[in-house]
Amino acid sequence: MRIADDLLHIAKGEVLGDSWSRQIYSVDASHYEIQPAAVVHPVDEHVVEEACKYSFAKKVPITARGAGTGLLGQSLSDGILLDFTKHMNRIVEIEDNHVVVQPGIVKAVLDKELKKRNKFLPPDPASSNYCTIGGMIADNSSGVHCLGYGNTIDFLEAVDVVYAEGEPGFASVDRYDDRMEKLFKILSPNVDVIKSGYPKVSKNSCGYRLDAVMSRRFMPQKVFAASEGTLGIVTSAKLRILDIPTCRCMIVLGFEDLIDAVSQVPAVLEFSPVALEMLDHTVVSHDRTSDTGCLLFVEFAGESRKIEDRLKACREELAGKCSVVEYASDEQSMVNIWRARKGALNDIMKLTVGSRKPIGLIEDTVVRPELLADHTANLLQTYRQNNLDYVMYGHVGDGNIHTRPLLDLGSGEEVDLIQRIAGIVFGQVIRSGGTITGEHGDGLARVGYIEMMYGSRITGLFSAVKKLFDPSFTMNPGKKVPVQ
């Protein structure tokens, strides 16, 4: 309790150190369980600064936490947890083309306020009703509509942060602190290595996104997207927002099986949908009585009724290859359809077969869409060879497959099995130019595979960046870069 007692002088009573509270915060949406030493509800950035100073001086880990919806243990720590959802959850500013928010605001709450102004922030993960903007930045979250609009990193324009030593920092394209100057000096001699060393796919949250930092120009704020709180703690963020499109429509297409469905993804993409999602029968058939069938959800959006023409042309292109299960062009019908798709993760996490349940490790791979059918066939073959039940769905327009085998983590043999499968699947994905982490983050589960993904030169840069921002490895240690 010494850490909690010390922190009481910093956080003005907003500290939890009792065993029940620490147990509550020992879990997230993953299968990991790590009990923190204390939990702080910071009321402002000054409390964050003081907590970081204490962490740095005492060499105690410190980790930011939002709603705890991370799937791979990103926000779990045996040190100090900073929960931003209670106090630092406000919208600071809404303008015509951007919003400034604190990290603890829930995405759905922000969506509601933006909608009043006919605006939206496109990244919309399945956990939008619960997840926070801080968590979305930490993981570079995406969601259903990232195909048409981009990922969280694409909308991040500026951040205020607190560094490991408790010093405040700031970063945007036009204005950044001295530490960002040092970041530029580390990365600029390695631009060619960075450019050639990253996967050529539309979404990626593996490692640090140095390619986004050194893209068209130096964009230092983007180093915090997908960083999982290992470089600094974001206390406010400025994000670009868009006008809600005037016209939207969608269709749900039914296919005989999964391979038939994903084989048609490149054809559907020719008509420029803003969303293209897949639900396999392993998710749809909750009673497990059906062993065939697959759905594609396709949405079109724009500023004119020409989107209806695109939908019609898409449907004609696929005539004879699938059936039209649903069509919608009014908002409520589309909300209902997307609610069913977004509910897939909740349904999956509740699924059990005896002592086995869906386990994440290979659940977030991305390949180019034209390679998706081969990648899916490889996954199915791996499951058949190992006699495994599984679930499968995903953002197939981006080539992003979410799949989980059903395993018993109480069995050492099955733990070894998922690790062997990961080695095989990740190797295939990497050789195809894809990524092992599309949007869920690396967390505790995939940190050991990051060097396999990038090789020693890029991961050497990751280590250099980590040491620049967090020389004592107190900021969410064990994520992104192995503890040294």
pLDDT tens by residue, 307-353:
999 999 999 999 999 999 999 999 999 999 998 777 776 777 778 77
CA nearest 154: which of 222, 215, 98, 99? 222
Q: What is the pLDDT of residue 340?
A: 79
Question: Residue 444's closest CA among 133, 34, 64, 143?
Answer: 34
Average pLDDT of the residues in 390-407 = 96
CA 449/CA 161 separation, integer angstroms = 28
Q: What are phi and psi of 361, to 5 degrees?
A: -170, -45
Residue count (the chain) = 484
The per-residue pLDDT of the chain, averaged, comes to 95
As a whole number of angstroms, the distance between CA 56 and CA 371 comes to 46
DSSP sequence for 118-163: TEE---B-TTTTT-BHHHHHHHT--BTTHHHH--HHHHEEEEEEE-
Sign of CA dihedral 254, 259, 261, 263: negative
Cα separation of 29 and 31, whole Å?
7
**Nearest by Cα to 406 from 278, 282, 290, 289:** 282
**Backbone phi, psi, residue 283, to 5°:** -100, -40
How confident is the model over 40-82, as pLDDT tens digits?
A: 999 999 999 999 999 999 999 999 999 999 999 999 999 999 9
* Per-residue confidence (pLDDT) for residue 283, from 0 to 100: 87
274: CB partners within 8 A, 6+ apart: 145, 147, 148, 149, 245, 299, 300, 301
Distance of CA 339 to the CA centre of its chain: 19
Confidence of residue 266 (pLDDT cuts 50, 70, 90): very high
Partner residues linked to 406 by β-bridges: 358
**pTM, full prediction:** 0.96
pLDDT at residue 204 greater than cutoff 60: yes
Residues 6+ apart with CB under 8 A from 56: 164, 165, 166, 472, 474
Question: For position 291, what pLDDT does the model report?
Answer: 67
Spatial distance between the Cα atoms of 290 and 277, rounded to a whole number of angstroms: 20
Residues of the chain with pLDDT > 90, as a percent, come to 90
Per-residue pLDDT of 116-128, as tens digits, reads 999 999 999 999 9
Domain architecture of the chain: domains with CATH: 2-83 (3.30.43.10), 91-243 (3.30.465.10), 244-342 (3.30.70.2190)
What is the token pair recorded at 72? 């791979």
Q: pLDDT digits over 222-263, tens only? A: 999 999 999 999 999 999 999 999 999 999 999 999 999 999
d(CA 103, CA 214): 25
Determine which helix (DSSP H) or strand (DSSP E) holds 406, and give its type and residue range.
strand 400-407
Nearest-CA neighbor of 402 among 447, 453, 365? 365
- On the question of pLDDT at 173 being above 90, the answer is yes
* Separation CA 111–CA 134 (nearest Å): 15
- pLDDT of res. 483: 83
Angle between helices 2-11 and 45-58 (to 10 degrees): 150
